[in-house]
Amino acid sequence: MSEIGNNLKRARLINNMSLRDVGYNLNISATAVSKYEKGIIVPDSKRLIEFANLYQVKVRDLLQSKELPKMSFNSFRKKKRLTGNRLDILKNIILNKVRDYLEVLNLNQYNPKRIVKFKCRSVEDAEVIARKYREIIKISVIQPISDLISILENLGIMIIQIKDVNNYIEDFDGFSEVVNSIPFIVLLDNIKDGARQRFTIAHELGHLVMDIADGLDAEKMCHRFASAFLMPRESVINEFGSFRKGISLFELKAFKEEYKVSYAAIIYRLKDLNVISEYLYKMLSIEINTVITKNDPEPIKPEYSNQSKNIVYQLDSKNIISLNKACELLGVSAYEYNRENYNY
C-alpha cells in the first residue's frame, strides 16, 4: 500500500465511513475508492482535494510520507472492544503524533533527560516507588499534586493529547513508551473528568518508572502506584485517621477537591490501606453510585499540555522555522496559527 493510500484509508476509517459511503459522496465506485487506498490508482490533485474536503483534513495530511518512529505499544490501556481497524488507526495516530513531537524537539535541539527506573517485585514495592518518585519531584507525602502535566513535562516526560473524532477511539484509556530515549504519555484530550485523566497519567507514569517483575500483573502494580502517588499513605491517614467505621460524603468531597481524585479512587485507596473494611467500602460504593451516579456534578477540571505548541511558536519567533513549517507541525492553517498567536 502506498503512503497516500494508507493516509486515505486512515482518514476514511477515522470518519467511520465505508468504501461505499465514500464512493457515493465522490460519485465513484467503492471499487475505485479501494484502488486508491491500495495504491493501484494514484489520485490527481483534483481528486485529492475532493478526498480532503470529504474527510475534513488538509491535502498535505494525505500526502505526508515522513518516516514513523519504531514503537512496541506494550503499555497500552484500552477497553476490550477497541480492536481491528479502530485499534490500527489509533496506533497510527499515535505514531504520527510522536513523530511530529520528536521533530519539534529535534528542531529545538532538545537533550533527553534520564528517567529513573525502579525494580517492582510486589504491591508494596509500588507503594515505595511512588513515595520515592515524590521525593524526586520534591513534593512531600502530605502535599497534593496540583498540576501533574506541568510537573512531568519539567521532568522530561512528554504528554500528547489526541483528539477523538466522532468518538472513534473513545475506548482508549492511555499509553506510554520511551521513544528515542524520550518518555511519552499519550491520552485523549476530550476527557471531561480531570480526576480520571490524572489517574490515567499517574498509571502510565508507573509503567515508565517501574521495572515490573515477570509474573506480576503490571496493570495492578501501576494502579497501586497511581493511587499511592496521588494519595500517599501519610496524607490519607492524616485526613481520615488509621481506622474508620464510617465516613461522610462531605469528607470525601473535601479530599477529592484537594487531591483532585475521584470518589471511587479515594474509597478504594482507603480499603487498600485498611482504613475502612471491605463491608464499609461496598456500602460507600453504593452510596456514591446512588447520590452521584455516573456523572459527578462537580468534576475535577482536566489538565492540558501546551509544551509542543509553545516550542513551535518559539522556533517561529526565532526564525528557526518558517510559518508554513510551524503550521505543518501544529496541523493548523496560517489563519488559525496567526489568530491563536494574536490571542496570546
Q: Of 208, 262, 185, 210, give the one whose Cα is nearest residue 231.
A: 262
Alpha carbon distances (Å) from 65 to 42, 50, 62, 147, 313: 15, 20, 9, 36, 24
pLDDT of amino acid 204: 96
The predicted pLDDT at position 104 comes to 94
- Res 118: pLDDT: 96
Long-range contacts, stretch 113-118, CB < 8 angstroms, 24+ apart: 113/155, 113/156, 114/156, 115/155, 115/156, 115/157, 115/178, 115/183, 115/208, 115/209, 116/209, 117/208, 117/209, 117/210, 117/211, 118/209, 118/210, 118/211
CATH class of 3-63: mainly alpha
- Count of CB atoms situated within 10 Å of the CB of 93: 21
- 181 Cβ partners below 8 Å, 6+ apart? 112
What pLDDT shows up at residue 267? 97
Of 79, 103, 124, the residue nearest 228 (C-alpha): 124
Cβ atoms of 66 and 102 within 8 Å: the answer is no
Q: What is the reported pTM?
A: 0.86
What pLDDT is attached to residue 1?
52
Q: What is the dihedral of CA 61, 66, 72, 75, to 10 degrees?
A: -40
What per-residue confidence (pLDDT) applies to 329? 84
Domain spans in the chain, listed from the N-terminal domain onward: 3-63, 75-231, 307-343
- CA dihedral 121→184→234→227, nearest 10 degrees, is -70
Task: Identify the pLDDT of residue 17.
Answer: 86
- Residue 201 contacts by C-beta under 8 Å, 6 or more apart in sequence? 148, 149, 152, 159, 174, 185, 187
pLDDT at 180: 93
Q: What is the pLDDT along the chain (344 residues), one digit of tens a residue?
A: 578 888 888 788 777 788 999 999 999 999 999 999 998 999 999 999 999 999 888 887 788 777 788 999 887 877 777 788 778 888 888 988 899 899 999 999 999 998 889 999 999 999 999 999 999 889 999 999 989 999 999 999 999 998 876 677 888 889 999 999 999 999 988 778 899 999 999 999 999 999 999 999 999 999 999 999 999 999 999 999 999 999 999 999 999 999 999 999 999 999 999 999 999 999 999 999 888 877 788 889 999 999 999 999 999 999 998 888 888 788 777 777 877 765 55
Which pLDDT score, from 0 to 100, does residue 343 have?
57
